[in-house]
């Protein structure tokens, strides 16, 4: 058996020197450039032109402030006094919910943790589920009450549990607002009951709504509930956001109203991969609040579409490698990518795939080897890196012996 292994190694070494001589003779002058300028697009290889904004559109809104954004990119599609500082009422709770979801997703708390109710939390007025200081609800139940019926008592109980006090929690809210670039915002409480200096803007509400939906999508399990109950069916819940029941693709998000703030709403919806967030502030009535949010969403869905450029890890091409133990390497897209375009513009999109000249081993897994560039009417509107799916070693004598021997060994094992 030992003699056979030595004979096998001698044959492998002879074969390696033969391969090396051939590859050295052929590889040095090779240059590889691939272009697909004339190649037609497939359905996933499309991109975006600059979307038209409200500069050329007037939706005649009655509300004090409003904005429509595309959820993934954050691009503003319609603006009506979007930076005016107004009272948010219970839309404040979008930030409270965001901090709760961060705590859950980071592992600090779980959905099954029991949350106590303090005298302070139980004393909250406005919308509530009348928590008792003797009872405890799970985080899951608290979120359901906050998202569906805007429970002030549950919001304060969660704030105290997470930060030790409502005041400390509000400090965290303001820190997060600063981190998100919410420059029009100052929070004074976690629930939204009117308080001097407690202000934000339609744009800032859109920013925190986007952060919540993009980074904590599980929240839609709560924000899409129309009717439910707590306490073994004794407490019925009906969503304050009527669009959940009436608007196709609605995913949330939060209502708010007081006698001073009037009627506010952050409304989100998704259709055909296009996700929109419409914010209404200081609407004169609840009817106007929902009608104008729907008007904004309709405007977005009627005029824009979201198209995927690429999916992370999508195999694009197998390309030649010089001086490698492998003669080719598969290239894949580095990231997910998608963009916003005016409806019908995808027919004008072109793509170009380009690889660097002289792709030589060694190649590291994930190394950038080229790119896909997307153009709309001659303007570059997107670019995605192409990376090596796997590493390729350089074809030194030692590597080739090791490589060929491993291939032969695998073959004989079969």
Catalytic site residues?
90, 93, 150
Residue 321: CB atoms within 10 Å: 24
Q: Are 240 and 255 spatial neighbours (Cβ–Cβ below 8 Å)?
A: yes
Going by the DSSP 8-state scheme, the letter that residue 58 receives in this structure is -
CA distances from 83 to 9, 63, 205 (A): 75, 13, 10
The CA angle 53-275-192, to the nearest 5 degrees, is: 90
Residue 178: CB atoms within 10 Å: 11
Burial 16-41 (b: 16+ CB within 10 A, else e): beeebeebeeebeeeeeeeebeeeee
Q: At what angle do helices 139-149 and 93-105 cross, to 10 degrees?
A: 150
Beta-strand ranges (E) seen in 103-226 are: 114-116, 136-138
* 77 vs 68: CA distance, rounded Å: 5
Beta-strand ranges (E) seen in 110-166 are: 114-116, 136-138
């Amino acid at each position: 058996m030992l003699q056979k292994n030595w004979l096998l190694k001698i044959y492998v070494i002879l074969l390696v020197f033969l391969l090396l001589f051939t590859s050295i003779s052929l590889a040095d002058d090779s240059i590889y450039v691939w272009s697909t300028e004339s190649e037609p697009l497939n359905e996933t290889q499309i991109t975006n032109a600059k979307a038209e904004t409200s500069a050329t559109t007037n939706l005649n809104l009655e509300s004090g402030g409003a904005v429509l954004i595309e959820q993934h990119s954050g691009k503003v599609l319609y603006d009506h006094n979007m930076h005016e500082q107004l009272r948010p009422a219970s839309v404040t709770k979008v930030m409270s919910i965001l901090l709760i979801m961060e705590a859950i997703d980071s592992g600090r708390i779980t959905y099954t943790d029991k949350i106590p109710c303090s005298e302070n939390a139980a004393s909250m007025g406005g919308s509530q589920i009348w928590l008792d200081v003797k009872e405890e609800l799970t985080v899951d139940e608290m979120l359901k009450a906050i998202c569906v019926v805007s429970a002030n008592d549950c919001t304060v109980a969660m704030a105290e549990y997470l930060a030790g006090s409502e005041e400390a929690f509000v400090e965290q809210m303001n820190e997060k607002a600063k981190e998100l670039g919410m420059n029009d915002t100052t929070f004074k409480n976690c629930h939204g009951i009117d308080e001097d200096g407690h202000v934000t803007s339609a744009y800032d509400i859109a920013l925190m709504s986007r952060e919540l939906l993009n980074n904590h999508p599980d929240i839609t399990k709560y924000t899409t509930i129309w009717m439910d109950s707590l306490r073994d069916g004794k407490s019925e819940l009906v969503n304050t956001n009527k669009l959940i029941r009436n608007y196709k693709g609605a995913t949330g998000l939060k209502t708010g109203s007081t006698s001073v703030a009037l009627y506010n709403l952050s409304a989100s919806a998704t259709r055909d991969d296009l996700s929109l967030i419409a914010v209404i502030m200081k609407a004169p009535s609840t009817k106007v609040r929902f009608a104008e949010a729907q008007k904004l969403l309709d405007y977005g869905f009627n005029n824009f579409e979201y198209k995927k450029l690429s999916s992370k890890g999508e195999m694009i091409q197998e390309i030649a490698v010089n001086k490698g133990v492998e003669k080719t390497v598969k290239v894949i897209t580095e990231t997910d990518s998608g963009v916003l375009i005016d409806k019908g513009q995808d027919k004008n999109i072109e793509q170009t795939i380009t690889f660097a000249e002289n792709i030589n081993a060694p190649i590291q897994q994930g190394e950038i080897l080229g790119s896909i560039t997307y153009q709309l009417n001659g303007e570059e509107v997107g670019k995605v890196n192409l990376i090596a799916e796997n590493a390729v070693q350089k074809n030194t004598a030692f590597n080739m012996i090791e490589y060929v021997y491993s291939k032969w060994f695998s073959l004989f094992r079969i």
